[in-house]
Amino acid sequence: MTARTSRQCAIAGIGEVPARRYHPAELPTLLQLATQAIENALADAGLDVSDVDCLLSYGTEKTDSVEVSSVLGMTLDNYVDIAGGGSSSETLVSIASALIRAGAARTVVIYRALHGHAGIRTGSGPAWNTSVQTGLIQAYGVFSAAQQFAPVFASYLAQAGATSEQVAHVKAVQSRNAAANPKALYPTPVTVADVLASRMIVRPVLHLLDCCVESDGASAIVITALDRARSLRQHPIRVLATAGRVSRPSPGYYYRGELTELAAKRARQLVFGPAGLTPDDIDVTGAYDCFTFSTTMLLERFGFCEPGAGGEYVSSGAIELTGRRPNNTSGGQLCEGYTNGLSLVIENVRQLRGQADDFCPDGARGSHTYDYQPGGCRQVRSAEVAMNMGWRTPSTQSAMIMARD
């Protein structure tokens, strides 16, 4: 679904259960994770469960809207449960905005909960994905996302003239961001050399530290009409434009089309034009980081640098907290934790509010030191406009532009 403009809607609340790797004896159920994240998001907005009339979710792993609403005692007029990985956050915001504009919903909660570490891990066996395309490649021993996408990485490096060393800056930069995030699963900074020295996951290009973390946790956001959001607890963050689940002409990324051709070429048209903005207007980005190279390719294909210059862009300092356009300022899914991109949206909302939850004593109240040291600040100065970019596969992307009201 594509919402060409969403100026009437805003994100009014955010909540989460920080990513962890639980001991089996202490592991919360998925329903517990989901409901806690939702309750936290509603409390952030100053709303109650009785205010919610629509739930939208990544409806997998036993956290569908019917079960969650039953546990919370909600009465819903609408609910939608979808699957589809890293393009889901922006897609669900598109749906929420459309429902609100149509008068079919008043308060929409989007949530995602998962046992990414304690449960069945991606690629752990043939049951992971039974689609025809994936079934065919599993016959050749390709089970994990790393195995599926590594050929894209290798092709990108060859075509763009980029290097693994350049792309490794994504992990190094985000690890420094995570060092200023009290809830990051991996808060220790690493260097480019550390990334390149980490064990090889898929030869010849994909190292362990090029890959996102597997974690257990949950995220939730509250969306309502902008005029209503202005009367709630937090400063509203306007949803300017969204593009959800945009595909390229040949969705299959092995047997048809160019491996490195991304749907971002179309998705960027669907967000920048309706928002009346260009990449130069974006202050902070959240680029889906299932791998270091997905972030690099997204930033390039959405126009933050010239075609073929993604490696140069991410290694230039531009994505640092002190750079022109900081990216994944929480540490992202490479370091903070993984909830299929929804945590990246939450981080950008915090940035636009001026409330990055770092180690600044009064950060929650918007007072920051901007020292950008480990154990210090990660709030971006004067952040007014943010963009999130999703990645389901190389052939399916999504995007969203938000702004401080």
Give pLDDT tens digits for 184-209. 999 999 999 999 999 999 999 999 99
What proportion of the chain, given as a percentage, has pLDDT over 70?
89
Q: How many CB atoms lie within 10 A of CB 250?
A: 12
Q: Is the pLDDT of residue 84 over 80?
A: no
Tell whether 48 is covered by a domain: yes
Q: Which of 65-69, 118-122, 248-252 has the highest mean pLDDT?
A: 65-69
196 and 205 Cβ atoms separated by less than 8 Å? no
pLDDT reported for residue 6: 42
DSSP for 305-365 reads: S-TT-HHHHHTTTTTSTTSSS-B-TT-HHHHT--STTHHHHHHHHHHHHT---SS-TTGGG
Residue 102 CB contacts under 8 Å (≥ 6 apart), including other chains: none
User: Whole-model pTM?
Assistant: 0.92
Which one has a higher pLDDT value, 141 or 1? Answer: 141
What proportion of the chain, given as a percentage, has pLDDT over 90?
71
- Residues assigned a catalytic role: 288, 338
pLDDT reported for residue 386: 98
Tell whether 101 is covered by a domain: yes
pLDDT-based confidence at 352, cuts 50/70/90? very high
pLDDT-based confidence at 2, cuts 50/70/90? very low
83 and 383 Cβ atoms separated by less than 8 Å? no
Tell whether 115 is covered by a domain: yes
Q: Is the pLDDT of residue 314 over 80?
A: yes
pLDDT reported for residue 379: 97
Which one has a higher pLDDT value, 377 or 391? Answer: 377
Q: How many CB atoms lie within 10 A of CB 132?
A: 7
pLDDT-based confidence at 25, cuts 50/70/90? confident
Summarize the confidence of residues 265-279 as an average pLDDT: 92
**What is the C-alpha to C-alpha distance for residues 4 and 190, in angstroms, rounded to an integer?**
40
pLDDT reported for residue 393: 77
- The number of domains in the chain is 1
Looking up tokens 């939730």 gives: 220
Tell whether 137 is covered by a domain: no
Tell whether 229 is covered by a domain: yes
Summarize the confidence of residues 270-283 as an average pLDDT: 96
Summarize the confidence of residues 237-248 as an average pLDDT: 89
Give the CA-trace dihedral at 265, 266, 268, 272, to 10 degrees: 140
Q: Which amino acid is at 134?
A: T
Q: Is the pLDDT of residue 44 over 60?
A: yes
Q: Is the pLDDT of residue 255 over 70?
A: no
Q: Angle between the 30-45 and 65-72 helix axes, to the nearest 10 degrees?
A: 60
pLDDT-based confidence at 362, cuts 50/70/90? confident
Which one has a higher pLDDT value, 401 or 24? Answer: 401
| Average pLDDT in the chain | 89
**Which range marks the domain in which residue 62 is found?**
9-119+213-404
Summarize the confidence of residues 11-18 as an average pLDDT: 97
3-state helix, strand, coil in the chain (%, to 5): 35, 20, 45
pLDDT digits (tens, 9 = 90+) for 123-181: 444 444 445 455 556 666 777 888 888 888 999 999 999 999 999 999 999 999 999 99
- The number of angstroms, rounded, from the C-alpha of 63 to the middle of its chain's C-alpha atoms is 19
pLDDT reported for residue 160: 92
Tell whether 231 is covered by a domain: yes
pLDDT-based confidence at 360, cuts 50/70/90? very high
**What is the C-alpha to C-alpha distance for residues 390 and 373, in angstroms, rounded to an integer?**
28
Summarize the confidence of residues 105-126 as an average pLDDT: 77
pLDDT reported for residue 130: 46
**What is the C-alpha to C-alpha distance for residues 178 and 331, in angstroms, rounded to an integer?**
4
Q: Which of 232-241, 251-260, 346-355 has the lowest mean pLDDT?
A: 251-260
pLDDT reported for residue 55: 97
Q: Which two tokens stand for residue 365?
A: 């109240």
**What is the C-alpha to C-alpha distance for residues 221 and 13, in angstroms, rounded to an integer?**
6
Tell whether 385 is covered by a domain: yes
CATH, residue 282: 3.40.47.10
Which one has a higher pLDDT value, 253 or 76? Answer: 76
pLDDT reported for residue 132: 42
Beta bridge partners of 220: 15, 111
- Planar angle of CA 357, 402, 89, nearest 5 degrees: 80
Tell whether 153 is covered by a domain: no
